[in-house]
Structure 1
Amino acid sequence: MLGCLHCTGGAALLYALYRWVIPAAVQYHGGLALLWHDIIVERMLDTLTQSTRPQRLLGAVQKNATRGDPRSVVKAIDEFCRHKEWAMNVGDEKGCILDSVVSELNPATVLELGTYCGYSTVRIASLLPPHAKLITLEFNPDYAKIACQVIAWAGLEDKIQLVEGSSAEWIPKMKEHFGVKMLDLVFMDHWKDDYLPDTKLLEDCGLLRKGSVLLADNVICPGSPDYLKYVRRSPRYKSQYFRSHLEYTKAEDGLEKSVFLG
């Protein structure tokens, strides 16, 4: 009997550590939050459920979001990530900054680098004017498959062109393959080491016009210091930092908005 009580008490302690104590302890430290949520917890749940985080996120959308309602899809993902399982979307707090930039710019042609599960894709597309074009690139085919289903659930498949492959491969093909002359907005949320080389590639390919906006996520955590140094010091950009927090935590992070001056 005593042994059973010890087992029950131990299980309760482990659950409390997993569910509340450790998440609270890492809330204010971006590196620890990423280690806990994006490596330890994700791998553990993948093993226990024999599924992937994107699959579980899609399940939450299909269960809780109204088909054809983009904002309910965004809300369902935010609820899942805040109360069930963290995921590295741009998130609700920084998502409002993204929304304001899109609404202010009212872009006709948008390129998103890094689709993941389609969260920011849905946010952007839901705010675009009629006949606007959103091209989103995703390197991971498993993520792309989930994102297609999330986008379809939001009813936005007609406004979005999702392309599998690397940014280095597809950026030079933008004009020829998609008929893109210039990009009004580029949202960068892929590998942080690719921010700077992809920016230079966009310049070299003539895809940026005077007034084109680059909006980069996670510039503090995980961070992209070489990119920040470039856009803040280059006379070709006017750059502004929007201080916020790493998605679904209290750790500092932010978005960098850089207007191309020509």
Structure 2
Amino acid sequence: MKKLLLAGLIALSSQFAAAETNTQSIDPEFAKIESMVKANNMTGAYQALDKLAKQGNAQALYNLAYLTQTGQGTAKNEKKAIELYQQSADKGYPVANYVLGKNYITGSLGLPTDINKAKQYLGKASSQGFDDASIDLAVLLFSENKPESDKAGLAKLDPLIKKGNYQAIHAKALYDISLGFKNKDEKSVQTGLTSIQDLAKKGYIPALMAVGNMFVNGNIIPQNLPEAKKIFAALAKENIPQAKESLAVVDKLMAEQAKGGSKAPAKKS
């Protein structure tokens, strides 16, 4: 799994670099490194990345940081990984800024929880065109519950929504629902719900999870545990994180309801 994740990160980095330059082809050195990863030659991948990193290659620094963070091809060292991510970020690599921002949100990799620094790094990645950073930054801004922050967050999401970015549409939908409950505005809740349901119909996994949870909670739409079970069971087969746990919760609730239902007639007789 780690091997596949790293391969994905390298591929992502390569694709992003290509998107930035448009006319330049992907560095063949990274194609070689990805081949090493696929062959499970993590030591070779680390050594090749280390060589490029020493030449000041920001992409190599980023991937070297990930290997160091996870202990693949080298000893696990989170402190060193942060230093490498920072070096990559200092050279303007968007994904490195994004990773630092995410870790300042969660207070992981030895970093303190620092929302201001998180916004700073996510802001840099966002300004460099990294869409995931724009969305996470918008969510952070929404959490401040201030009109000016809401306005800034919506401004981050708007261009992505216009491009049809599912993640941005989902974030806006959750914002609409939350705002609707806060202001007792049924129209806002319905707008958000419709967006999420549309995304779920298109197979967008976070939206499917959200709809499943709505069926369980029954606070936005009527409770429907069989329908929730159907959703979570399908996602669990795809090994989607949290789906198995959600499925277990639904099974427990259904069992409790069935048990309560079976007792009811006995009390009446």
Q: TM-score, normalised to structure 1's length? A: 0.29
Please say which structure displays the higher CA radius of gyration.
2
Q: Which has the higher strand share?
A: 1
Higher relative contact order (CA 8 A, sep 6+): 1
Q: Which has the higher helix share?
A: 2
